[in-house]
Structure 1
Amino acid sequence: MRLHQIWTSALIALTVQSGAAFAEVTVSQSNEPQVVLGQQFRSLLGAEHKTIEALPEAERTALATGILGTKKARKAAAAAQVTDLSYSHDFLASLPAPTGDAQWQCLTKALYFESRGESLKGQFAVAEVILNRVDSAHYPNTVCSVVEQGGRGGCQFSYHCDGARDVMRDGEAVNTAGRIARLMLDGAPRDLTFGATHFHTRAVNPRWSHIYERTAAIGAHVFYKP
């Protein structure tokens, strides 16, 4: 009966996660314990099947890979909702007003100061670079740590140590950057820069640009990966 209790607890937890309701479980009135237990398992497995079928596809995938409830699973589920990503102002305006934690705020600020004069694709591309660094073992593992990282007497992102006050005065640009940041943190595709972790403006020619692989050129920025 211990196994039966484990199954019951697991299935109840799954129901809470998915919002699906279990079908009514019925058992035989037989006095044979093995018969009763077998019928209970069949009923429970049937309920489990119906519950799993009710889950969104992204969550069923997460269950199959054993990552349901993890940060990776939640990001995968969120990314599944970004099915009609469009690099247009109309698309961004159709989204809910963005909110978020410190990581969202850091990405919003970085996009504002590093790329607000660029096209939407250019701003999305800069977001890709930042998040590609977060995912890389060679850089810090949070957005804030990446954009605030120093090195060789300067900063990885120039706005952070250019001596100017980082005050975002352009409300429209802040709104755009915040919406892009929210989409990218929620798992929107990174299809513009092909894994880039570096970029520079066309006005400069850093030494590393002759060593790294050039992956894209969008607006005033050129993108690279080691």
Structure 2
Amino acid sequence: MSFASRVASFAAMSFSLVALIGTSTPGWANGLDRSLIATPTLATLNTLAPHVVPDQIAPGATVEPEVSIPDVDQSVVQDDDDNSYDSLAEAVADQDTVAADDTMRCLAGAIYFESKGEPLSGQLAVAQVIINRAKSGRFPTDVCAVVKQRGQFSFVRGGRIPSIDEARRSWQTAVAVARVALSDAWDSVASEALYFNAHGRSPGARMQRVAAIGGHTFYR
């Protein structure tokens, strides 16, 4: 065999041997290739990747923003029934019987002199007339001014309310009724009345009757 033929045979054998190794030991070849690639460690991957807990949010669910609900202080929640009464007599009995200011003293004075002998509903109606006048815009805007207005109430003398024995039960009742009226603790049946007079007296031509209580008839 010539030298050239020997070189060619050796080259062919070498090529066959490399092909045999590549096909029969793929794990070794793949392992050799991976050893040449620098890969990050598992800890490094966990640090770089976002932290997601897949079972906390269902697929397709809408995530609502959190709403902060302030705590309610129950001590400042008012009960609408705290000031309710079963009767006018109960409302009157629950009041202080001391006239605290001029407004209450004037209103109680009118109740006392005009209706101390009337039922409680009649006394409250008198008080309601005076309060309605002060709110109407047709009379003075102050309760005392309404009571002391010239020619309106016969018990007023020279623009003054006569002195009253405040130890009398009828005065104390008048004060309590005045408190009920001023605090709107009970609805009067004469809630729209602006006038009243004794039964048997003719009202003004344009007055409309609202109620009749005790010895008085009430009009608007």
Query: Is the TM-score greater than 0.5?
Result: yes
Structure 1 unaligned runs (5+)? Answer: 1-37, 59-79
Change (3 A) 1:191 1:112: closer
DSSP 3-state at the match of 1:158: coil
1:100–1:182 Cα contact (<8 Å) kept = no
Task: Give the deviation of 1:158 after TM superposition.
Answer: 1.9
Output the amino acid matched with 1:56.
Q
- Map residues 2-151 of structure 1 onto 2, 5 A cutoff: 42=68, 46-47=70-71, 50-51=72-73, 54-57=76-79, 81-84=82-85, 86-88=87-89, 92-150=92-150
Query: Partner residue of 2:163?
Result: 167
Query: Partner residue of 2:14?
Result: none
Residue 220 of structure 1 pairs with residue 215 of structure 2: yes
User: Equivalent of 1:187, from 170, 180, 184?
Assistant: 184
Overall identity of the aligned pairs, in %: 32
State the Cα deviation string for residues 189-220 of structure 1 (Å, max 9, x = none).
333114001000114224x1x32110100011
Task: Give the deviation of 1:82 after TM superposition.
Answer: 3.3
Task: Give the deviation of 1:93 after TM superposition.
Answer: 3.2
Between Structure 1 and Structure 2, whose CA radius of gyration is higher?
2
Query: Partner residue of 2:25?
Result: none
User: Equivalent of 1:158, from 133, 154, 161?
Assistant: 154
User: Equivalent of 2:206, from 211, 214, 219?
Assistant: 211
Structure 2 unaligned runs (5+)? Answer: 1-64
2:106–2:161 Cα contact (<8 Å) kept = no
TM-score normalised by length of structure 2: 0.60
DSSP 3-state at the match of 1:106: helix
Following the alignment from structure 1 to structure 2, what is the Cα–Cα distance between the partners of residues 179 and 113? 15
Following the alignment from structure 2 to structure 1, what is the Cα–Cα distance between the partners of residues 197 and 126? 10
Query: Partner residue of 2:53?
Result: none
RMSD between aligned alpha carbons? 2.9
Which moved further from structure 2: 192-201 or 91-100?
A: 91-100
- Matched length: 155
Following the alignment from structure 1 to structure 2, what is the Cα–Cα distance between the partners of residues 122 and 202? 13
